[in-house]
Copies of this chain bind each other. A is one copy, B any other.
Amino acid sequence: MIEADLVKEAVRQRKARSETFLGFEYLRFSDDFKDVPRGTVIFQDTIVWGYPHIGRVFMLEEGLKEQFSGPFWVEEKVDGYNVRIFRVKDQVVALSRGGYVCPFTTDRVGDFIDLDVFEDDPDLVLCAEVAGPENPYIEESPPFVKEDIRIFVFDVMRKNSREFLSQREKLELIDRYSLPHVEIFGEFTHADIPKLKDLLFRMNEEGREGVVFKEERGRRAKYITSYANLSDIKVTTKNMFQLPAEYYTNRLLRLVLFMEEEGIERNAHLYEELGKALIDGLFEAIDQFKKEHRVYTTFRCRFHRKENAIALLELIRRTSKHIQVIERDLREEKGMWVLTFDKVFLNMTGLLGHLLSGGLVFD
């Protein structure tokens, strides 16, 4: 439950806002407010709690020893975007981390998830990562999704509760409905740390993002490979001044601590990869600006229903700051609607416009 007074206060402070979807209204917490996490939504009398923040450890061995006293599960952290999937009336919808109903994920969820799971238990909320090269939000994609998208369940909640099902309850549900899920490496203890170091070393080599540690029910922590940090840097530099600059310095430190933990030597190849990751995007932005007078990235994704493609563009337009959305193409292909659109980075476009024409900067 969330107290009615708290909801009123959140609305008054513009931390909770009204949204509409499929003709009915819901309330969305646009920021953390008191103990209610951002992305929490209220559909009439139903609350779907926001997915909580998970703390990060920068050192594997010391982190596990410090954060977990008993056994813990280790699961893959997939590099995609976080959704919560559940049923409203007779429709299954997917919420973004921020609490918007995502027209793209909602359109595609039935391709990956056996929706019977919600027939049998309409209170379920599946927490999942959506990842792949054809998603409308992020440019990174894990090495094991070669086309389109896939959905990977990693947690289960229930409506009106902020607790997760225990690991065993979740595994049972995954098994019963053959739900697609993140790789679950098993349950481990401190004695297994050398094994886990090997695992993370391998994941890093394979270009995978990292892992989440979870008690059967309780504490969690995440740990990320240096590959993922490098990749985060690489895919964002074309629009470097949109993100907080700490995005980059934090990832440099994480990368260094991962190498330190895994005993990975610094060598010319690594330095080169890092240098490339940091500046190639800037050169690309300049080239693009010189040719086309704007800096942008093209996204492509597939829908069953044309209306959902249009609704997605509308959502991105409404929610992205300093981004101009330009539709390039929306056409039927092999029974799907294929949407192609550009996100124009207005900050980088404006900055390069000023600097390349000889503008002065006081810094």
Q: Write the residues of chain A forming the contact surface with B, with a CB cutoff of 8 angstroms.
A: 53, 55-59, 61-67, 221, 237, 240-241, 244-250, 252-253, 255-257, 260, 266, 268, 270-276, 278-280, 282-283, 286, 355-363
**A205 → B minimal CB distance (Å):** 19
Contacts A66-B357, A275-B273; A250 near B363 (Cβ below 8 A): yes
- Whether B359 pairs with A66 at a CB distance below 8 angstroms is yes
Contacts A63-B360, A358-B57, A359-B57; A255 near B279 (Cβ below 8 A): yes
CB closest residue in chain B, given A58:
B355
CB closest residue in chain B, given A283:
B256
Partner of A361, one of B56, B271, B272, B279: B56
Chain copies in the assembled complex: 2
List, sorted by A's number, 29 A–B pairs whose CB atoms are closer than 8 Å: A53-B362, A55-B362, A56-B362, A58-B355, A59-B355, A59-B358, A62-B356, A62-B358, A63-B358, A63-B359, A63-B360, A240-B249, A240-B253, A241-B253, A244-B245, A245-B247, A252-B278, A256-B283, A260-B286, A266-B280, A266-B283, A268-B272, A271-B273, A271-B276, A272-B275, A273-B275, A274-B274, A274-B278, A278-B278
Partner of A64, one of B283, B355, B358: B358
- Whether B260 pairs with A283 at a CB distance below 8 angstroms is yes
Q: Which residues of B contact A272 (CB under 8 A)?
A: 268, 271-272, 275
Q: Which residues of B contact A361 (CB under 8 A)?
A: 55-58
CB closest residue in chain B, given A278:
B252
- Whether A252 pairs with B240 at a CB distance below 8 angstroms is yes
Contacts A55-B362, A272-B272, A282-B252; A355 near B257 (Cβ below 8 A): yes
Q: Which residues of B contact A286 (CB under 8 A)?
A: 256-257, 260
Q: Which residues of B contact A356 (CB under 8 A)?
A: 58-59, 62, 257
State in angstroms the CA–CA spacing of A279 and B358 once bound together: 32
